[in-house]
Amino acid sequence: MINTKKIWMNGKLVEHDEANIHVLSHVVHYGSSFFEGIRVYKTENGSVIFRLKEHVKRLFNSAKIYRTEIPYSVEEIEQAIIETVKANELEQGYIRPIAYRGYFELGVNPKRCPVDVAIAAWAWGAYLGEEALNNGIKVQVSTWRRPALDTLPSLAKAGGNYLSSQLIKLEALENGYEEGIALDYLGNVSEGSGENLFVVLNGKLITPNLSSSALAGITKDTVIQLAKKLGYEVVEQTIPRELLYTCDELFLTGTAAEVTPVYSVDNIKVGNGDKIITKAIQKEFFNLVQGKHELSEKYLTYVK
């Protein structure tokens, strides 16, 4: 159960149990929602929201791709997110802003249905577990592929797109893995069910480019910056499946996953088990979100 007190809905804070939508809302039937996942971290100087502006901008861009206009300004949504964190007295956890097509009429055409907005915030620890952050996880290459770029827009963080993610995740769990890695429509590496990925090979970081049908991750972008500051070369390119088996290190990134090492792929151990570069980047990431990095001032919004 999600342990939150207040949820922001269409301009006002309501009680958890009152945050309801109609069963005939367009979003329920056609997946017409656009959302973000944002982390709140506790620092020595108070709670902070990680890359708030970038997340809200992506929310609006996702809606724009689907010809949907959010009935609030960027600044109003940013402030509403801060208000929601405060109302729930959340020191550390997760924020979920979502814009969606509400109730008016049914039919694939969404245009006459209102665009509603909700924001929830609750305590949520490591997505894949604290042990995963230290020791890594077992993943499999999924039999489900990401759709081609001209079928569903991968740059939109839209609810309907995550039916694909559910299939990837369910298959992995049922087969005894913690996560699945999807290939793109050409058979190259794309992303996890809800994470971007990085391969480490000969001291260089390699990550799939945008043509791989992977989401343009905000944590991914952060990791690229951190890696470069540490002196590592980062390349965005096509990654063949077999590189997952022959790389030196492999890790996943995302708001929920943060920086999570991968121990094995299809029961093939990644490298020799060392996570030297992964751990170095992971350390820098947590320094950043705890206000102890030169990028902290740029990317952290204090909740006051």
Across all residues in the chain, what is the average pLDDT? 95
Coil, helix or strand at residue 95: strand
- Give residue 1's pLDDT: 64
- pLDDT exceeds cutoff 80 at 34: yes
Contacts of residue 11, Cβ cutoff 8 Å, sequence gap at least 6: 72, 80
- Give residue 2's pLDDT: 76
157 is catalytic: yes
- Give residue 40's pLDDT: 97
- pLDDT exceeds cutoff 70 at 221: yes
Q: Which residue, among 289, 296, 297, has the nearest Cα to 39 in the 3D structure? A: 289
CA distances 176 to 121, 246, 256, Å, are 30, 22, 21
Q: Which residue, among 181, 283, 270, 275, has the nearest Cα to 223 in the 3D structure? A: 283
Give domain 130-289's CATH number out of 1.20.1580.10, 3.20.10.10, 3.30.565.60, 3.40.220.10: 3.20.10.10
| Distance between first and last Cα of the chain | 27
- The DSSP code for 145 is P
Residue 181's pLDDT band, with cuts at 50, 70 and 90, is: very high
Contacts of residue 285, Cβ cutoff 8 Å, sequence gap at least 6: 219, 222, 223, 226, 258, 259
213, 168 contact by CB (below 8 A):
no
Fold of the CATH domain 6-122: D-amino Acid Aminotransferase; Chain A, domain 1 (3.30.470)
- The reported pTM is 0.94
Task: State pLDDT tens for residues 5-33.
Answer: 999 999 999 999 999 999 999 999 999 99
| Domain assignments of the chain as residue spans, ordered by start | 6-122, 130-289
- pLDDT exceeds cutoff 80 at 72: yes
Which one is catalytic: 157, 169, 220, 275?
Answer: 157
Task: State pLDDT tens for residues 88-129.
Answer: 999 999 999 999 999 999 999 999 999 999 999 999 877 777
